[in-house]
Structure 1
Amino acid sequence: MRILGIDPGYAQTGWGVVDSNGQRNRPVSFGIIKTSPTMPDIERIHFIAASIGKIAEEQQVEICGMEDIFFTKNVSSAIPVAKVIGAAVHQLSIQNIEVRLFSPPTIKIAVTGYGGADKKQIQEMVRILLGFEKIPKPDHAADALAVAICLSVFDATQKRIQGK
Structure 2
Amino acid sequence: MRVLGIDPGSRHTGYGVVDAKGSKLTLVACGTLSPGDALPLAVRLGRIHAGLVDVVARTSPEAVSVEEVYHAVNARSALVLGQARGAALVAAAGSSIEVFEYAASEIKRAVSGSGRAGKEQVSRMVSMLLGVEVPGDEHACDAIAAAICHLNRARMPATGAASAVLRMRPAVVPPRPAAKRTRRAP
CA shift for structure 1 position 162? 4.3
Give the aligned residue type for 1:83. Q
Q: How does 1:13-92 map to 2 (within 5 A)?
A: 13-92=13-92
Q: How does 1:1-164 map to 2 (within 5 A)?
A: 1-132=1-132, 134-157=133-156, 160-162=157-159
User: For residues 72 and 45 of structure 2, what CA distance do their matches in structure 1 show?
Assistant: 23
User: For residues 89 and 106 of structure 1, what CA distance do their matches in structure 2 show?
Assistant: 19
Tell which has more relative contact order, 1 or 2 (C-alpha 8 A, sep 6+): 1
Deviations 1:70-107 (A, max 9, x none): 13422221211100111211221111011111110000
Contact 1:22 1:155 survives alignment (8 Å): no
User: For residues 54 and 33 of structure 1, what CA distance do their matches in structure 2 show?
Assistant: 11
User: For residues 72 and 47 of structure 1, what CA distance do their matches in structure 2 show?
Assistant: 24
Contact 1:23 1:156 survives alignment (8 Å): no
135 and 95 in structure 1: CA distance in 2 versus 1, 3 angstrom threshold: closer
User: For residues 49 and 131 of structure 2, what CA distance do their matches in structure 1 show?
Assistant: 29
Q: Aligned to 1:18, what secondary structure does the other structure show?
A: strand
Give the aligned residue type for 1:143. D
Query: Larger deviation: 46-55 or 65-74?
Result: 65-74
Contact 2:10 2:41 survives alignment (8 Å): no
CA shift for structure 1 position 47? 1.0
TM-score, normalising length from structure 1? Answer: 0.92
Deviations 1:107-142 (A, max 9, x none): 01100111111111101000000011x343311111
TM-score, normalising length from structure 2? Answer: 0.82
Gap runs ≥5 in structure 2: 165-186
Percent identity, aligned pairs only, is 35
User: For residues 75 and 127 of structure 1, what CA distance do their matches in structure 2 show?
Assistant: 34
Aligned residues: 161
Deviations 1:8-62 (A, max 9, x none): 0111100011101352211111111011122121111111011101101111111
User: For residues 18 and 135 of structure 1, what CA distance do their matches in structure 2 show?
Assistant: 12
Quote the RMSD (CA, aligned, Å).
Answer: 1.6
Contact 1:11 1:34 survives alignment (8 Å): yes
Gap runs ≥5 in structure 1: none
Contact 1:17 1:28 survives alignment (8 Å): yes
Give the aligned residue type for 1:68. E
